[in-house]
Amino acid sequence: MTNEISAASNRIVSKIDELIDLDKKIFITSSFQTQSLPLLHIISQAKKTVPVAFIDTGYLFPETYKFKDYLVERLGIEVVSLTSNVSMLEQKSSNGDLLFLTNTERCCQLNKVDVLQEYSKNFDIWVSGVRADQSKTRSHLKEFQTNTNGTTRYHPMLPWTSKMVFDYRKLHNLPEHPLEAKGYLSVGCMPCTSTYLESVGSERSGRWQGMKKEECGLHTNLA
């Protein structure tokens, strides 16, 4: 398994370096969860610094910010924090309720999709760490595909499994997100994230519990 993982990670580094040699403007997105670690570690080995876009919705767990800061220091990566142009106080329904309580689709659109759509206009390649085994939606993605902006999406982790992520972490002594020990396998915004035991299901089943929703829109609206 170690040889398989090393070969897989080396292929990604080679592809990133190849795109850099072609003068492609590249960025990577990361939510700084445990499953984000292999790609962040791999991208830190590229021949040129690749900016890491971190979408800060304002609703993230304090532990996520601390984990991000730790990884920036340890891996030497360059992070660009992206925030919505619409303030949190303005993100309300007609009744005055905050959108995360009444319209999660609109909340995600304002805080994630619109933000990244604008940022990605300046780049040729968007590198995303989605995996096919995370959800039905993600299983239909291709390694390379063009999104609605005309930006090319590159999904190098698509064939990786959760076990490969775990083994890569152990191989390189990479820590887990501090909330994982408390039962959070997929960590997003505080109002819309619950523990695995509270949800029971796939890795991402703790997100938007009780709703017919499994994606924020980054991998659907911007696919």
- Angstrom distance (rounded) from CA 90 to CA 86: 6
On whether 107 is known to bind a ligand per the annotation, the reply is yes
Task: Considering only CA atoms, give the Rg of the chain.
Answer: 17
Q: How many helices (H) and strands (E) does the chain have?
A: 9, 6
On whether 189 is known to bind a ligand per the annotation, the reply is yes
Active site residue 216: yes
- Angstrom distance (rounded) from CA 31 to CA 79: 11
Task: Give the sheet arrangement for strand 79-82, strand by strand.
Answer: 79-82, 52-55, 26-29, 125-127, 152-154, 144-146
On whether 219 is known to bind a ligand per the annotation, the reply is no
Name residue 70's amino acid. Answer: Y
On whether 192 is known to bind a ligand per the annotation, the reply is yes
Element (H, E) at 106: helix 104-108
- Which residues neighbour 213 within 8 Å (Cβ) at sequence distance 6 or greater? 104, 105, 207
Choice among 216, 218, 222, 223 that is catalytic: 216
Q: Which residues are catalytic?
A: 216
Binding positions for [4Fe-4S] cluster are 107-108, 189, 192
